[in-house]
Amino acid sequence: MEVGTNRPLTPEEAAELTEECFDSFDAFVNRWPKPIRDWDSGQVVEWEGEGVTIKDITGRTFIDCLGGYGVFTLGHRHPEVIAAVKAQLDRLALHSQKLLNPIAYEAAKRLAKVSPGDLKRTFFTNSGTEAVEGALKLARLYTRKPKFVSTVNSFHGKTLGSLSVTGRDIFRKPMLPLLAVSFVPFGDAGAVERAIDDETCAVIVEPIQGEGGVHVPPDDYLPALREITRKKNVLLIVDEVQTGLGRTGKMFGVDHWGVVPDIMCLAKGLSGGVIPCGAFHTNDEIWRSFHPLPLFQTSTFGSNPLAVTCAAKTIEITARDRLPERAAETGAYFLGKLEELIERLPGVIREARGKGLLIGLEAITEELGTRLAHALFDRDVLVANTLNNPRVIRIEPPLIIERAVVDEVLGRMEAAMKAVRAAPSGR
Ligand SMILES: Cc1ncc(COP(=O)(O)O)c(C=O)c1O
């Protein structure tokens, strides 16, 4: 196929490209759990995105309730982010590595302004897993201790350090040995306290477990972790890769409970949905661990001008347009309506839960969840299962989604649930 043009395709070209894509994906790119052609007869080729919708190559339009696993807080191709990136691209695409990059400090300054407490210093990365890697290294440098405490069913990424603290054996076991980590149940502060020993350097936790199946902890959980980690002299690393930037109805997940962590990890939404950008973010004191040798952590592409332009613009737009508040309102409405649907149409979904626009629908069985996801796909709504808990379907639309579009999704959800209930099995 031609790369780098927006020339309109004829229907024949679209059909040809779809065929080519099916074959070439399995041949040249990573295989999905099954060959693409058999995996999902609804698999289509993505082509354009705008706001809360994404179109396939034939022009079929989906409402994006998957949101790139939480990337598209601002929606697809937010016009202000696109304009800023285009302007930057016309001036300097990637940084010299030698001269000072003014957008990097501007993005970091904006992050410090919206983040809780004394969090101030930022290292920009290219992804969530790198943000977690940096946080783990910084915690080790600061404490000079080797071990971590993490939670069962957590997801922190898949490079070796972040995989070490990811609480899912299916991904970890083939890669052992990894870093020394004790896993404790999510939501149980007492278990964290018991797991900390003299060798422990930090506790890492998601404020709300995303890939574990959208689990909101008890209200006293994060405040208790803050107290315990202070008392035991270990660091509290909060992974806000999925929950950050307004997703849960506050700027950061920890803001629901007024907790200031020692290190915060970000990515996904920080990209503005345009250029990948992650970060780990900490206070002056912990940051000083890098001072003896700032080269302890480096990245050629981290903090590149295009990425930090997106980060700076995203923070500006998220705060200015009060997107966290909007997510809280829309999310409460969405969740309430989903709960009504579940009550009216029992037998498919056991529970709807979440905060803001991070919503999980726990199906009664994995098969029912998969069938519901397919039925929604057939009705042009994109959703997906959570990675560590396939029984849970995530609903993570852009925070800019309008009430009328939520109502449209709810209508399609009702039809999809009825279709799943009507058919004994299969699609
Ligand atoms: C909480 C959390 N941390 C880390 C990651 C890893 O991010 P990335 O896929 O950008 O490496 C994810 C990805 O889903 C995540 O949800």
Task: Evaluate if residue 82 carries a pLDDT over 70.
Answer: yes
Q: At the topology level of CATH, where does 79-320 sit?
A: Aspartate Aminotransferase; domain 2 (3.40.640)
What average pLDDT does this structure show over 392-418? 98
Query: What pLDDT shows up at residue 389?
Result: 87
Question: Residue 43's pLDDT is what?
Answer: 66
Q: Which atom of ligand 1 is nearest to the CA of 265?
A: 3
- For 98-156, what is each residue's pLDDT tens digit? 999 999 999 999 999 999 999 999 999 999 999 999 999 999 999 999 999 999 999 99
Contact between residue 156 and residue 166 where contact means Cβ atoms under 8 Å apart: yes
Residue 425's pLDDT band (cuts 50, 70, 90): low
- Residue 211 Cβ inside 6 Å of ligand 1? The answer reads yes
Q: Is 196 in the pocket of ligand 1 (CB under 6 A)?
A: no
What is the pTM (predicted TM-score) of this model? 0.96
Ligand 1 atom at minimum distance from 132 CA? 4
Closest residue (by CA) to atom 16 of ligand 1? 242
The more confident residue out of 12 and 280 is 280
CA of 8 to the centre of ligand 1 (A): 34
| pLDDT for the residue 393 | 95
- C-alpha–C-alpha distance, residues 56 and 46, integer Å: 4
Beta bridge partners of residue 56, listed in sequence order = 46
Which CATH entry fits the domain spanning 44-77+323-422: 3.20.20.10, 3.40.1180.10, 3.90.1150.10, 2.40.170.20?
3.90.1150.10
Tell the residue nearest (CA) to atom 3 of ligand 1.
156
- Helix-helix angle 323-344:305-320, to 10 degrees: 70
- Residue 20 Cα to ligand 1 midpoint, Å, equals 30
Ordered by start, the domain boundaries in the chain are: 44-77+323-422, 79-320
Q: Is pLDDT of 33 > 70?
A: no
Taking the CA of residue 159 as reference, the ligand 1 atom at the shortest distance is 11
Nearest one of 85, 78, 80, 82 to 50, comparing CA atoms: 78
pLDDT score recorded for residue 35: 58
pLDDT tens-digit profile of 266-325?
999 999 999 999 999 999 999 999 988 888 999 999 999 999 999 999 999 999 999 999
Atom of ligand 1 nearest to the CA of 129: 11
pLDDT of residue 106: 98
190 pLDDT exceeds 60? yes
What pLDDT does 148 receive? 98
